[in-house]
Amino acid sequence: MLIGAHALVFSGTFGEQGLRRAVEGTKRAGFDLIEIPLMDVDAFDSELAARMLRDNDLSVTASLGLTESTDLTSEDPAVVAAGERILEQCLDHVAAMGGEVLCGVIYSAMRKYASPTTARGVENSQGAIARLADKAAQRGIRLSLEVVNRYESNVFNTGRGALAYLDGVDRDDVSVHLDTYHMNIEESDLFQPVHDVAAAGKLGYVHIGESHRGYLGTGSVDFGTFFRALHDVRYDGPIVFESFSSAVVSAELSNTLGIWRNLWQDSDDLAAHANRFIRDGLHAVGTIDLH
């Protein structure tokens, strides 16, 4: 099981300097893995990232939230094609870095929609994800679709909703990416969705975020229950800490996610605490086997 940190804990930009800060900070905090958001695919230097990852002995995943102009749920075939193109570029970046996962909101735009999905839009998305899954498999990469709350996508907002969407994708290797921040808003509890998704063989990626996206343990997310559920289903995929503050700003992502206030100042302290919090929580629930 790899425990990771989202790169935005350390830097809002991913040129050489920002990338170095994020990779070295993630390593220093004690994590095994860094998740890099590919918000600017054209500018991203995956060869440089690969060298830094090797030097710091870190595993890597990448994530993305699509935009209105690359929305796979669009009814305009040109917009869907633009989304597929950008996601294929992302796959190339992940492959160049030696990663095995592309996750996030890669099935629709990541934004507040003003109306529900349309049947044709969802079919467009499912078709595109199926084609992309084949391209990912050729590169040894798997896709994991992040379940986000109603203000960030209209396609699905719960684990069961994601499973229903995947019924229309028909690819065994596309999985569900659960995030405690979003689950805390939308799910009935933090236990059942883990079981539902895992029972379908689809739990592929996990984000650990607090209810306000700040320090773990200072909000209302029931991490004890969530860690128990992960242990119960013997989840052994990536578990990645995600936190945002106006102290570290990516203009695009911060605005999309509504990061308006300062929940922390010190990335290093936040990250080291999160690394301990997650490992301690998982260690404790592991002893339940002895009860």
Footprint of Mn ion (CB under 5 A): 179, 207, 242
CB nearer to Mn ion: give 124 or 184: 184
Question: What's the burial of 192, exposed, middle or buried (CB within 10 Å: 0-12/13-18/19+)?
Answer: middle
CB nearer to Mn ion: give 202 or 207: 207
CB nearer to Mn ion: give 20 or 244: 244
CA angle 225, 176, 286 (to 5 degrees): 35
Q: Which has the closest alpha carbon to 64: 99, 31, 32?
A: 99
Residues 66/110, Cβ–Cβ less than 8 Å: yes
Min dist CB 67 to Mn ion, Å, is 17
d(Cα 89, Cα 208) in Å, to the nearest integer?
A: 27
Min dist CB 104 to Mn ion, Å, is 7
Min dist CB 16 to Mn ion, Å, is 26
CB nearer to Mn ion: give 179 or 210: 179
Min dist CB 242 to Mn ion, Å, is 5
Q: Which residues of 158-177 are buried (b: 16+ CB within 10 A; e: fewer)?
A: bbbebbebbeebebeebbbb
Give the residue numbers annotated as catalytic, written as ranges: 146, 242
CA contacts within 13 A on the Cβ side of 12: 13
Sorted by sequence, the CB contacts under 8 Å of residue 31 that are 6+ apart come out as 3, 4, 5, 58, 241, 271, 275
d(Cα 25, Cα 28) in Å, to the nearest integer?
A: 5
CB nearer to Mn ion: give 20 or 237: 237
CB nearer to Mn ion: give 71 or 179: 179
Min dist CB 32 to Mn ion, Å, is 18
SS3 5: strand
Distances 189 to 91, 147, 221, 278 between C-alpha atoms, Å: 33, 14, 10, 19
Distances 24 to 41, 59, 64, 278 between C-alpha atoms, Å: 22, 12, 22, 19
